[in-house]
């Protein structure tokens, strides 16, 4: 699907739930958030129908997100159905990793290609602090299982915060020395609770300069449909990537749409405008009509998030990551 700026929109992020088993400090308030009512959330069958229409419209890559997607019952069944769609080239999943270990084998057998694991610290006490109670040990076992069952490339997403984990950059790099792990350092975005942490912001360039002063970096490439700029420490098995969501405006290369758990087809992470695809779906719209809605959504993508500004009032779990 081509948008009106000539970008090929071939990547769809699908939120299968707005619920999460963690309460990360830059994502949610301590009391949590109000969740969607059960009837508001798309069923797995509805999600499959919409992904099928998206693929027919031209989507080649699909990523399942949340909230935390692994808390959605029967997710493995959805993966099995979606992975068999003709024309789909890549099916991936973003998870916090808490529930990954017991599901990794089944997800791989069902047809999942790869996983991204959100992990901001390698210290147990700090992990409990930032997630408000999560278990780092469970995540690390999930990481091991993802590698074992070749949900590869396995990527770790690290949101860098100046006073929290900037001093752990080298520890994360060490993960790539002997294992095919790909660590991506991501700029903190002013979305939801993250909008109150502006003093914690660290640019991707600052991180890159800090690493480059101590390591011999060589440019690299890696499979994926996102905006990360990848490097490899010479002699290491894995890579490190940099995602400058704030400092490096990669809107001109944006190739994605987002489908929220309640059936909102969003054109941009930071734009409130969307098309409601749930209502026509539940009203009996044909597959051809659903394909047209995806095509229309692609045409409605803005040139840049600057047209709307950062939405600081909506939490990431509601947007779909």
**Residue 71 in this model has a pLDDT that exceeds 80:** yes
pLDDT at position 227: 81
Query: The tokens of 309 are what?
Result: 């500004």
What tokens appear for 61 in the block?
């890559």
Query: Which residues lie closer than 8 Å to 273 by C-beta, 6 or more apart?
Result: 266, 267, 300, 308
Note the pLDDT of residue 295: 98
Q: Considering only CA atoms, which of 298, 189, 201, 208 is closest in space to residue 249?
A: 189
**Crossing angle of the two packed helices 136-148 and 124-131, in degrees rounded to 10:** 100
Does 307 score more than 70 pLDDT?
Answer: no
Tokens linked to 295: 């095509």
Report how far residue 239's alpha carbon sits from residue 220's, in angstroms, rounded to the nearest whole number. 8
**The pLDDT of residue 224:** 66
Residue 2 lies in a domain: no
The pLDDT value recorded for residue 29 is 84
Q: Check pLDDT > 70 for residue 223.
A: no
Average pLDDT over residues 246-271: 89
Contacts of 294 (CB under 8 A, 6+ apart): 1, 53, 54, 57, 58, 59, 257, 265, 277
DSSP-H helix ranges across the chain? 44-57, 75-83, 104-110, 124-131, 136-148, 169-178, 204-212, 278-282, 287-299, 316-319
CA distance 19 to 26: 16
% of the chain surpassing 70 pLDDT: 92
Q: What is the pLDDT of residues 44-63, one digit of tens each?
A: 999 999 999 999 999 999 99
> Among 55, 52, 51, 53, which Cα is nearest to 10's?
55
Give pLDDT, residue 206.
Answer: 96
pLDDT, one tens digit per residue, over 8-21 is 999 999 999 999 99
- pLDDT tens readout for residues 86-98: 999 999 999 999 9
- The answer to whether residue 5 sits within a structural domain is no
- Assigned domain for 4 exists: no
Residue 265, in any domain of the structure = yes
Is residue 6 one of the residues assigned to a domain? no
Residue 298's pLDDT band (boundaries 50, 70, 90)? very high
For 228, the domain range is: 11-319
**Mean pLDDT on 205-209:** 96
Lowest mean pLDDT among 3-12, 239-248, 254-263, 298-307: 298-307
For residue 80, what are its two tokens? 């099995």
Q: Residue 1 falls within a domain, yes or no?
A: no
> For the domain that residue 114 is a member of, what is the CATH number?
3.20.20.70
Contact at 8 Å (CB) between 114 and 61?
Answer: no
Average pLDDT over every residue of 272-299: 96
* pLDDT at residue 241 in the model: 96
pLDDT of residue 251: 86
Question: Could you give the number of structural domains in the chain?
Answer: 1
In a domain, 161, yes or no: yes
Which DSSP string corresponds to 54-108?
A: HHHHT--EEEEESS-GGGSTTHHHHHHHHHT-TT--EEEEEE-STTTTTTHHHHH
Strand 90-95 to 114-118 pairing:
parallel
Read off the pLDDT of each residue in 101-117 and give the average, rounded to a whole number. Answer: 98
284 is a domain residue: yes
């Amino acid at each position: 699907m081509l948008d009106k700026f000539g970008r090929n929109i071939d990547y769809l992020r699908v939120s299968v739930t707005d619920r999460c088993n963690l309460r990360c400090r830059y994502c949610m308030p301590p009391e949590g958030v109000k969740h969607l009512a059960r009837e508001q959330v798309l069923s797995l069958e509805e999600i499959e129908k919409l992904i099928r229409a998206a693929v027919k419209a031209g989507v080649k890559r699909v990523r399942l997100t949340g909230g935390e997607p692994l808390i959605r019952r029967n997710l493995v069944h959805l993966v099995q159905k979606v992975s068999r769609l003709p024309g789909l080239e890549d099916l991936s999943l973003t998870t916090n990793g808490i529930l990954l270990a017991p599901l990794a084998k089944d997800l791989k057998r069902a047809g999942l290609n790869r996983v991204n694991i959100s992990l901001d610290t390698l210290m147990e006490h700090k992990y409990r602090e930032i997630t408000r109670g999560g278990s780092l040990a469970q995540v690390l076992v999930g990481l091991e299982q993802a590698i074992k069952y070749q949900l590869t490339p396995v990527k770790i997403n690290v949101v860098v915060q100046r006073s929290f984990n900037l001093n752990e950059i080298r520890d994360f790099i060490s993960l790539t020395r002997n294992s095919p792990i790909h660590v991506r350092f991501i700029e903190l975005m002013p979305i939801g609770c993250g909008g109150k942490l502006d003093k914690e912001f660290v640019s991707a360039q600052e991180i890159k300069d800090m690493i480059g002063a101590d390591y011999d970096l060589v440019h690299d490439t890696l499979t994926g449909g996102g905006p990360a700029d990848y490097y490899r420490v010479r002699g290491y098995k894995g890579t490190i990537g940099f995602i400058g969501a704030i400092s490096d405006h990669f809107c001109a290369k944006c190739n994605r749409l987002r489908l929220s758990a309640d059936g909102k087809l969003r054109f941009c992470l930071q734009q409130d405008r969307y098309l409601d695809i749930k209502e026509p779906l539940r009203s009996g719209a044909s597959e051809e009509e659903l394909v047209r809605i995806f095509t229309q959504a692609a045409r409605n993508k803005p040139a840049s998030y600057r047209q709307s500004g950062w939405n600081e009032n909506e939490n990431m779990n509601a947007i779909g990551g």
